[in-house]
Amino acid sequence: MLDEIAVIDSGMKIGDLQEAEIDRFVLRLAINFTARANYLPEHIRGRKPTYGARVRPLPRKHTGKTLEATKPDENYVWVEHGHAIRVEIWRKLILNQVVPAENNPTFDVYAFYDPAFEQPWLLATPVALKPESVRAIYKDRWPVEQIPLST
């Protein structure tokens, strides 16, 4: 249905959703998630690149070094209940092992920085949506995740 979208918590992989031909979803990503641009970087010298540039939405430490986050394609801010929610967006990404091509299924990644949470949320969707909509769709799943009732 065109008015339905799957909302999935982390643990599921984008590749699994693409393989299952689920083309409308909002997926929570792991904080160490990486993807690639769906185009080849400029060839300067040496071997021609095979894959798009790596996109790392959040910085992380690896063997004592900090790996910087990739500069986002877009920045967005809105105020909700008196506090600013900042969003960084990377557009038209592909999975790491995919070779760039026009017909690749792509997705966007949103990093939500909300002062109500210690860590940013990383959400992915192949659907073109406003950041407020992506956040609202993901938050709508929370009522179904209640603590199990004991008898």
Share of the chain above pLDDT 70, in %: 92
Residue 49 belongs to what domain range?
A: 6-130
pLDDT at 3: 78
DSSP 10: B
d(CA 122, CA 59): 12
DSSP 112-135: EE-TTSSS-EEEEESS---HHHHH
Tally of domains in the chain: 1
Whether 109 is in a domain gets the answer yes
Whether 142 is in a domain gets the answer no
Is residue 11's pLDDT more than 90? Answer: no
Q: Which residue has the tokens 């400029």?
A: 42
Nearest alpha-carbon partner for 90 in 71, 105, 77: 71
Indicate the burial class of 41 (C-beta count within 10 angstroms; 0-12, 13-18, 19 or more): middle
Whether 26 is in a domain gets the answer yes
pLDDT at 151: 47
Is residue 123's pLDDT more than 90? Answer: yes
Cα 65–chain centre separation: 23
Is residue 92's pLDDT more than 90? Answer: yes
Whether 57 is in a domain gets the answer yes
Nearest alpha-carbon partner for 85 in 129, 51, 22, 134: 134
Pairing of strands 83-94, 74-80: antiparallel
Whether 102 is in a domain gets the answer yes
Residues 37-83 have pLDDT tens digits of: 999 988 888 999 999 999 999 998 888 899 999 999 999 999 998 99
Whether 148 is in a domain gets the answer no
